Amino acid sequence: MKTIKLGLSGLSVPAIAVGCMRITKAGKTEAERFIKTALDMGARFFDHADIYGKGACEELFAEAAGMNPTVREKMLLQSKCSIRPGIAFDCSKAYILKSAEGILKRLKTEYLDVLLLHRPDALMEPEEVAEAFTILHNSGKVRHFGVSNQNPYQIQLLKKFVSQPIAVNQLQLSITNAGMITQGLRVNLTDDGAVNRDGGALDFCRLNDITIQTWSPLQYGFFEGTFLGNEKFPELNAKLDEIAEKYEVSSTAIALAWLLRHPAKLQPVTGTWNIARFKECVKATEIVLSREEWYALYLSAGNTLP
């Protein structure tokens, strides 16, 4: 599979990451087949979070993968922490360290390739985050770090204290949830699309060599469902089908190719554990949409241009 550089981490990673939030819906047998197939295809980057299934997703992944040192070296494992059940968010030193230990135990591994802070914590003390990151890094338990759902100033605040590079910012982005792109196209206008809701996260991450991992790349709204084949998006699906026919792939591949076409070198995080569907996702890495096709898809989703 095509690879990209993950921020300033030095890691070369697959252009598409495997999201593991829905692994429990697949079950152990299907998960075993999926992981083997993904690795055979070069899709060796797996994204987890301690909150997924309250830890059950990480446990099932390790069991289905038959985790051992040989298997582990074939993979790149990323997980996230800071969502604390019953509280809200917690980026304290104690909680980060406790979460990391739990993740390592459930995944049956001695180290994570990447650990992300899952959500901003209003009570975060960046000095504590820095201490936690340094302890995890110096002990060899976490090799690289990042964030998720953070704006530029939140990242800058962390960077003031954290000595390790922030390699990743995981953000929601799809053809139908393209606010990060839209506000950049509507600079100096007064309509709703011109509102800068994320502080210019897209450009900030590009300027600072931070890889944006796009979550829910085939979804609309906030977990409202996929836009593929959805009657709410007739023009978008017609255009997806038209371009898919040209490239002899599925509309799934084209929707992901739309993200991959962006020069920010985004890394979409897929959610499917259906092998056939995932193979469609991977085909997106072989397609480079033309400028005309990219904008046609953008407009067909209901987005407008000045």
Distance CA 81, CA 96 (A): 7
- Note the pLDDT tens digit of each residue in 250-289: 999 999 999 999 999 999 999 999 999 999 999 999 999 9
Helix (H) or strand (E) holding 143: strand 142-148
Distance CA 132, CA 125 (A): 11
Distance CA 38, CA 16 (A): 11
Helix (H) or strand (E) holding 88: strand 88-89
Output the six-digit token pair for 81: 């922490």
Distance CA 229, CA 226 (A): 8
Distance CA 98, CA 246 (A): 50
Q: Where are the domains of the chain?
A: 3-300
Output the six-digit token pair for 223: 């977990």
Global pTM value = 0.97
The per-residue pLDDT for 33 is 98
Query: How is domain 3-300 classified at the CATH fold level?
Result: TIM Barrel (3.20.20)
The per-residue pLDDT for 69 is 97
Sign of CA dihedral 194, 196, 197, 203: positive
Tokens 């914590």 -> residue: 121
Question: How would you label 93-103 residue by residue, b for 16+ Cβ within 10 Å and e otherwise?
Answer: bebbbbbbeeb
Amino acid at 180: M
Distance CA 92, CA 158 (A): 13
Spans of the chain, pLDDT less than 50:
none
The per-residue pLDDT for 223 is 84
Of the candidates 82, 74, 122, the residue with the CA atom closest to the CA atom of residue 98: 82
Distance CA 17, CA 43 (A): 7
